[in-house]
Structure 1
Amino acid sequence: MGSQRSKTSFLLLVLSLFSLLHKLETKHNTHHSHPHHNHKNSQSSAANPKLNQAYIALQAWKKVIYSDPTNYTSNWVGPSVCRYRGIYCGPAIDDNTTTVVSGIDLNHLDLAGFLPDEIGLLADLALLHINSNRFCGVLPLTLSNLTLLYELDLSNNRFVGPFPSVVLSLPSLKYLDLRYNEFEGPVPSELFNNKSLDAIFVNNNRFTSVIPSNLGMSTASVVVFANNKFGGCLPPSIANFANSIEELLLINTSLTGCLPEEVGYLYKLRVLDVSYNQLVGRIPYSIAGLAHLEQLNFAHNMMSGEVSDGICVLPNLTNFTLSYNFFCEEQGLCGNLTSKGVVFDDRRNCLPGKKLQRSKKVCDVILEHPVECEEFNCDYS
């Protein structure tokens, strides 16, 4: 999937940080049942105020983890927090002679509980990964104390409430993953004023309202909105995304109206997926200028008109899906795109002479009333 590949690509940007953590593990022969640091560091932890703060935070967290099926946190005992499973220590950014807790990785452990206010005591955290667990409730406001946090992955849990605005106060955050939770209500426009975020995943929640009109003000390279109920039109201001966005996934977000021509200004775009919406009108011809485009998906909309040859000759196109629409003509190479080695799906359209198309009766109703995109009164709140 495009978003998953982009996540992997993005993580390469922080390879140096992970490399440091892995070197620490290798140096001290770390395993699930072994300490992350040697005894000298562990013994000195009592004299280190930052590790004392971490001890308070982690003990508070352990008390509110009410289900730990694999007993992963069973060794979270005593002040030597660098020996705890899932806890990574390293030198403080401002003082390499001071050991601090710099990373937490509790992914895929099926832990149940919530995040206590004391989590804010972990002020040196750069990485907080707790995806695929059963953490619930709302995020504590004390997360705002984590001013060095670079990656926050809360995906696939049971967090609730409105968009957690506390994440907007994290000045170092590059990677934000909130997908597969129960967040609801609008996504604040302030999220896209953030110039540090490189990847934004808010898919598979209960977000509503419309996509903020300042969407393009972000400098993120990956944005995934999929499987929410935003509605409204894609704002023309998306053109401002041109210098950064590489993957944009808007699958099943209740989008309406026509795709704006400004989509074609996103010259770095590699993946565009707007499938399973209520989009109408023609494919913007400007998309024919997206030379880096690899995956393009318009499936399950109400789009119509012709499919331009300019899109089908894009040099990097590998997957093009336009099934379940009302397209009536495929120009040039589009009529036999598979001959170019492109994965192509044009089922259930109104294409003369093609197999697996809609009935003439259904097509005539749509084609007799061509869509005029200018007629749509889009709400760009």
Structure 2
Amino acid sequence: MRLAMEASPLLLLLSLTLLLATFLQAKAVPSLQEQAGALLAWKATLQSHPAQLHSWSRGNNTSTWPCSWYGIECSKHQASHQEVITKISLRGLRLRGELDALNFTALATMTSIQLSHNRLTGRIPPGIVSLRDLRFLLLQRNQIRGPLSPALASLKKLRCLMLQQNELSGEIPRQIGELGNLVTLNLSANHLFGPIPGELGYLKKLVRLDFTCNNLTGSIPRNLGNLTKLTILYLDVNQLSRHLPSELGYLVNLRELSIGINKLTGSIPHTFGSLINLVLLYLSDNELSGCIPQGLGYLVNLKMMDLSSNNFIGSIPSTFGSLINLTQLYLWNNTLSSCIPQELGYLVNLEDLDLSYNKLMCSIPNTFRSLINLTGFRVSDNHLMGPIPNIFGFLTKLTMLYLDDNQFSGHVPREIGTLKDLQNLQFDGNNLSGPLPPGLCSGGRLKHFTAYDNNLIGPLPSSLVHCKSLVRVRLERNEIKGDISELGVHPNLLYMDMSSNKLFGQLSSH
């Protein structure tokens, strides 16, 4: 009993304190009239007033405005139980004006701001830090400039911060790492520079991180390996350097990893073989070296892999034959050698394959006849040899076939002339002989055809002579003969070189 009596004053004090806090919080909540005034004041500063904003006016029914205005949502405040503005959504209205002309202090009850795809300028105003309940801040595709304020870290409930495609500059504040509820962070296509803060590794709820197209420098923080919920990581088109951290291999939920067009060095970590949910892997245009890890062949969900324009050596891993969902494979402009593995012929969903500008040897595997969905096949500038295999008749969807600058010999297979959708055909710079195959351009779509620097003979096929889709043709330095005046009308032709052959006659001026 005595204990209860002694405790009661303490309980009374706590109750009074909570009551006072609730009262003060409720009293601090701006009224709807005050919030409406802030919006109308901002509207008055805008240089454009789209039709959707005609509803933004002081009407007779003060009980519903501004909650009935276009793009405005209201709800009852938890403390004051009064109607307050919680959301503003004015996406894509081409609004022109200053963002910092909006009085965010009067709109402190907002949980969502969606002002993307407009033409707003100015800086992110300091008053935005008063929005302690803000969960969504979407300002992408505007012309907002200036640095990111470290004060944004006070928005502890923020889940989505999308500021891409603006004119933001300066460094990424390390205080961003204090936004522990952040799920999406997109700062791409700005003018940000400096390092990626290691503190971002504290954002354990982060699912999407996009810093593409900035001027970020330094290394990729190892702490990013802590973001185990991450599904999308885009860091491409920056100035990032040093090695790829092996810790990125811990991001087992990652679906898209894009770090192309940087200055990364070293090899691909073997831990990347653990990224079993990866659908897209884009590491092109760096200075990566060493052998391509066999473990990448275990990423069976991959649909696109781009390792082009690096310094990779060795052979193409035979394990790539397990990537049965792959639709695009780009390995061009490396120093890959040895034979093309026949296992690549198992990739029946492949649509685009580019192995150009390497040192690949041997011949094209016969298993490639199974790549029936292929639309682009490029092996230019390698050391491939032997006859061109007659597999291409099976690849009926081909629109682009580049076999140039190799050591192919023998006749051009007749099957190439059966490809109705072919638009680009190159096999110049080889040791090919015999006549051109009949049927070239039989589909009426061939635009670019180069076969110079070979030993081709005979007259031009009739289908090529009358091919009206041709734009560019190069057949110089062969043994082709015939009357050049028989060439038909080519309304789209911009360039033709048939010099150093055994042709006679004159080209038509048409």
Quote how far apart the aligned CAs of 1:340 are.
4.8
Which contiguous aligned blocks of 4+ residues in structure 1 show a shift greater than 4 angstroms?
336-340
**Residues in 1 aligned to 2:79 and 2:282: alpha-carbon distance in whole angstroms:** 47
Quote how far apart the aligned CAs of 1:107 are.
0.4
Q: State whether residues 238 and 262 of structure 2, in contact with CA within 8 Å, keep that contact through their aligned partners in structure 1.
A: yes
Whether 1:285 and 2:266 are equivalent positions in the alignment is: no
Whether 1:52 and 2:33 are equivalent positions in the alignment is: yes
Q: Which residue of 1 aligns with 2:307?
A: 322
**Among 53, 67, 81, the residue aligned to 1:73:** 53
**Partner amino acid, structure 2, of 1:290:** L
Matches within 5 A, 1:6-25: none
Matches within 5 A, 1:112-123: 112-115=96-99, 116-123=101-108
Aligned partner of residue 230 in structure 1, secondary structure:
strand
Quote how far apart the aligned CAs of 1:165 are.
3.1
Kindly provide the CA deviation profile for residues 157-205 of structure 1, in whole angstroms up to 9, marking residues without a partner as x: 1111111334221121110011111111110111123211111011111
**Residues in 1 aligned to 2:299 and 2:221: alpha-carbon distance in whole angstroms:** 25
Kindly provide the CA deviation profile for residues 212-249 of structure 1, in whole angstroms up to 9, marking residues without a partner as x: 122312221211111110111112222222x3322111
Q: Which residue of 1 aligns with 2:88?
A: 104
Q: State whether residues 56 and 118 of structure 1, in contact with CA within 8 Å, keep that contact through their aligned partners in structure 2.
A: no
TM-score of the two chains, using structure 1 as the length reference: 0.76
Q: Which residue of 2 aligns with 1:34?
A: none
Kindly provide the CA deviation profile for residues 133-172 of structure 1, in whole angstroms up to 9, marking residues without a partner as x: 1111112211112111110001111111111334221121
> Per the alignment, do residues 312 and 84 of structure 1 end up closer, same or farther by CA in structure 2, a change over 3 Å counting?
same
**Among 163, 178, 185, the residue aligned to 2:148:** 163
Q: Which residue of 2 aligns with 1:357?
A: 357
> Per the alignment, do residues 341 and 244 of structure 1 end up closer, same or farther by CA in structure 2, a change over 3 Å counting?
closer
Q: Which residue of 2 aligns with 1:186?
A: 171
Kindly provide the CA deviation profile for residues 29-88 of structure 1, in whole angstroms up to 9, marking residues without a partner as x: xxxxxxxxxxxxxxxxxxx962112112111111111123x3322221105211211111
Aligned partner of residue 267 in structure 1, secondary structure:
coil
> Per the alignment, do residues 213 and 339 of structure 1 end up closer, same or farther by CA in structure 2, a change over 3 Å counting?
closer
Q: Which residue of 1 aligns with 2:226?
A: 240
**Among 270, 276, 280, the residue aligned to 2:255:** 270
> Per the alignment, do residues 201 and 340 of structure 1 end up closer, same or farther by CA in structure 2, a change over 3 Å counting?
closer
**Among 42, 52, 64, the residue aligned to 1:61:** 42
Runs of 5+ consecutive residues of structure 1 not aligned to the other structure: 1-47, 364-381
**Residues in 1 aligned to 2:149 and 2:175: alpha-carbon distance in whole angstroms:** 12
**Residues in 2 aligned to 1:190 and 1:212: alpha-carbon distance in whole angstroms:** 9
Q: State whether residues 61 and 119 of structure 1, in contact with CA within 8 Å, keep that contact through their aligned partners in structure 2.
A: no
Larger radius of gyration: 2
Matches within 5 A, 1:252-271: 252-271=237-256
> Per the alignment, do residues 49 and 119 of structure 1 end up closer, same or farther by CA in structure 2, a change over 3 Å counting?
closer
Q: State whether residues 131 and 156 of structure 1, in contact with CA within 8 Å, keep that contact through their aligned partners in structure 2.
A: yes
**Partner amino acid, structure 2, of 1:277:** N
**Residues in 2 aligned to 1:311 and 1:332: alpha-carbon distance in whole angstroms:** 10
Q: State whether residues 243 and 266 of structure 2, in contact with CA within 8 Å, keep that contact through their aligned partners in structure 1.
A: yes
**Residues in 2 aligned to 1:65 and 1:261: alpha-carbon distance in whole angstroms:** 49
RMSD: 2.2
TM-score of the two chains, using structure 2 as the length reference: 0.58
> Per the alignment, do residues 227 and 236 of structure 1 end up closer, same or farther by CA in structure 2, a change over 3 Å counting?
same
> Per the alignment, do residues 158 and 310 of structure 1 end up closer, same or farther by CA in structure 2, a change over 3 Å counting?
same
**Among 284, 296, 318, the residue aligned to 1:332:** 318
Aligned partner of residue 81 in structure 1, secondary structure:
coil
Q: State whether residues 247 and 271 of structure 1, in contact with CA within 8 Å, keep that contact through their aligned partners in structure 2.
A: yes
**Partner amino acid, structure 1, of 2:89:** D
**Partner amino acid, structure 1, of 2:83:** T
Q: State whether residues 149 and 173 of structure 2, in contact with CA within 8 Å, keep that contact through their aligned partners in structure 1.
A: no
Kindly provide the CA deviation profile for residues 10-37 of structure 1, in whole angstroms up to 9, marking residues without a partner as x: xxxxxxxxxxxxxxxxxxxxxxxxxxxx
Aligned partner of residue 218 in structure 2, secondary structure:
coil
Q: Which residue of 2 aligns with 1:302?
A: 287
Q: State whether residues 297 and 323 of structure 2, in contact with CA within 8 Å, keep that contact through their aligned partners in structure 1.
A: no
Q: State whether residues 301 and 325 of structure 2, in contact with CA within 8 Å, keep that contact through their aligned partners in structure 1.
A: no
Quote how far apart the aligned CAs of 1:308 are.
1.8
Q: Which residue of 1 aligns with 2:70?
A: 85
Higher relative contact order, chain-length normalized (CA < 8 Å, sep 6+)? 1
Aligned partner of residue 271 in structure 2, secondary structure:
helix
**Residues in 1 aligned to 2:178 and 2:133: alpha-carbon distance in whole angstroms:** 19
Matches within 5 A, 1:189-228: 189-219=174-204, 220-228=206-214
**Residues in 1 aligned to 2:357 and 2:333: alpha-carbon distance in whole angstroms:** 4
Q: State whether residues 308 and 330 of structure 1, in contact with CA within 8 Å, keep that contact through their aligned partners in structure 2.
A: no
**Residues in 2 aligned to 1:357 and 1:298: alpha-carbon distance in whole angstroms:** 17
**Residues in 2 aligned to 1:166 and 1:50: alpha-carbon distance in whole angstroms:** 26
Quote how far apart the aligned CAs of 1:283 are.
0.6
Identity of aligned residues (%): 28
Q: How many residue pairs get matched?
A: 311
Aligned partner of residue 249 in structure 2, secondary structure:
helix
Q: State whether residues 280 and 305 of structure 2, in contact with CA within 8 Å, keep that contact through their aligned partners in structure 1.
A: yes
Q: Which residue of 1 aligns with 2:157?
A: 172
Q: Which structure is higher in helix share? A: 1
Q: Which residue of 2 aligns with 1:131?
A: 116
Q: State whether residues 263 and 287 of structure 1, in contact with CA within 8 Å, keep that contact through their aligned partners in structure 2.
A: yes
**Residues in 2 aligned to 1:320 and 1:290: alpha-carbon distance in whole angstroms:** 13
**Residues in 1 aligned to 2:37 and 2:153: alpha-carbon distance in whole angstroms:** 25
Q: State whether residues 301 and 323 of structure 2, in contact with CA within 8 Å, keep that contact through their aligned partners in structure 1.
A: no
Q: Which residue of 2 aligns with 1:10?
A: none
Q: Which residue of 1 aligns with 2:333?
A: 348
**Residues in 2 aligned to 1:248 and 1:182: alpha-carbon distance in whole angstroms:** 21
